[in-house]
């Protein structure tokens, strides 16, 4: 009886020891798997960052070079007292500065979003007031490209979201619409409220976006590059930020487009907190 008891005790202890060892091994394997997954994410993020910065650096150099040329031409026209030509050069310079400012803002928000330092403070605001503010800034650029900008909204539409991020969302989408719309085109902004969401649509008559680029955008692929209506390359960071920030505000962003058929972007933002 004593031998049987000792054997059972030893067997029980061995099984307990085996169970502890197995659990530790399982946790270690799970930890290694988690670390490998995190390492893969970091590698993907680093690759995306490198490619994005390479493209953006090219955009920055191009913008600075354009500014140098514009300022030199502006100085020449002023020296010759050609006021009309000088005003035209000043307008072109202003457009270049606005594009550069938009690119720098996008880079700032992108870096903050990647490091988790982007804070959101939801508040109730008038959609018409924000749309009017953003469109007013873009009117000179749209007019210079002979693009009509329509944005008559109802006064009783409200959203509950972070107002600064919504401004950036609208700026990026309208800026894209202008870039991808040839001269004599049109951009229409409308809004409606349905099922506790406010839907804002920005529709243009531009060159459209391919299905591959749209799918890459929603997959979070920063390798997407598309040519603007002027022939310049675009990184797509503006649309990526707009989608990311819309979702951070509890909403959604959808893109409807075909090559040669224009683009419609629909933003859904919550009405209530």
Tell me what the pLDDT averaged over the chain comes to: 80
Instruction: Count Cα atoms within 13 angstroms, Cβ side, for 208.
Output: 10
Q: Which residue has the higher pLDDT, 104 or 131?
A: 131
Q: Out of 205-209, 215-219, 229-233, 250-254, which region has the weakest mean confidence (pLDDT)?
A: 229-233
pTM recorded for the entire structure:
0.69
Residue 250 pLDDT more than 90?
yes
Give the separation between CA 130 and CA 119, rounded to whole angstroms.
20
Instruction: Please state the φ and ψ torsions of residue 205, each to the nearest 5 degrees.
Output: -110, 35
For the stretch 39-67, pLDDT in tens is: 776 776 666 666 566 656 666 776 777 78
CB 189 within 8 A of CB 174: yes
Give the separation between CA 184 and CA 182, rounded to whole angstroms.
7
Q: Which residue has the higher pLDDT, 100 or 13?
A: 100
pLDDT range class, residue 2, cuts 50, 70, 90: very low
Helices and strands of the chain, counted as H and E runs = 6, 9
pLDDT, residue 206, reads 92
pLDDT, residue 229, reads 47
pLDDT range class, residue 209, cuts 50, 70, 90: confident
Give the separation between CA 133 and CA 139, rounded to whole angstroms.
10
For the stretch 159-199, pLDDT in tens is: 999 998 999 999 999 988 998 899 999 999 999 999 899 99
Query: What are the structural domains, with CATH classification, of the chain?
Result: 1-118 (1.10.287.130), 122-270 (3.30.565.10)
Residue 96 pLDDT more than 70?
yes
How large is the C-alpha radius of gyration of the chain?
27
């Amino acid at each position: 009886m004593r031998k049987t008891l000792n054997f059972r005790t030893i067997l029980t202890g061995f099984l307990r020891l085996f169970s502890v060892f197995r659990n530790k091994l399982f946790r270690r394997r799970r930890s290694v798997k988690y670390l490998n997954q995190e390492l893969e994410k970091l590698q993907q993020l680093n690759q995306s960052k490198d490619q994005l910065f390479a493209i953006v650096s090219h955009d920055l150099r191009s913008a600075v070079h354009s500014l140098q040329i514009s300022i030199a031409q502006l100085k020449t026209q002023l020296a010759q007292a050609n006021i009309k030509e000088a005003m035209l050069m000043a307008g072109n310079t202003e457009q270049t500065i606005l594009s550069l400012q938009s690119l720098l803002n996008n880079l700032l928000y992108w870096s903050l979003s990647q490091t988790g330092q982007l804070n959101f403070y939801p508040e109730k605001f008038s959609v018409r007031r924000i749309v009017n503010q953003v469109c007013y800034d873009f009117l000179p650029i749209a007019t210079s490209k002979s693009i009509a900008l329509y944005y008559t909204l109802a006064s009783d539409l409200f959203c509950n979201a972070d107002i600064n991020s919504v401004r950036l969302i609208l700026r990026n989408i309208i800026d894209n619409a202008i870039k991808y719309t040839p001269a004599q085109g049109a951009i229409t902004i409308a809004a409606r409220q349905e099922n506790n969401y406010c839907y804002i649509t920005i529709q243009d008559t531009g060159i459209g976006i391919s299905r591959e680029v749209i799918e890459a955008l929603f997959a979070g692929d920063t390798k997407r590059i598309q040519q603007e209506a002027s022939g310049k390359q675009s990184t797509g960071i503006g649309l990526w930020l707009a989608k990311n920030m819309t979702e951070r505000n509890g909403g959604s962003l959808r893109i409807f487009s075909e090559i040669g058929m224009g683009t419609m972007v629909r933003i859904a933002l919550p009405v209530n907190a």
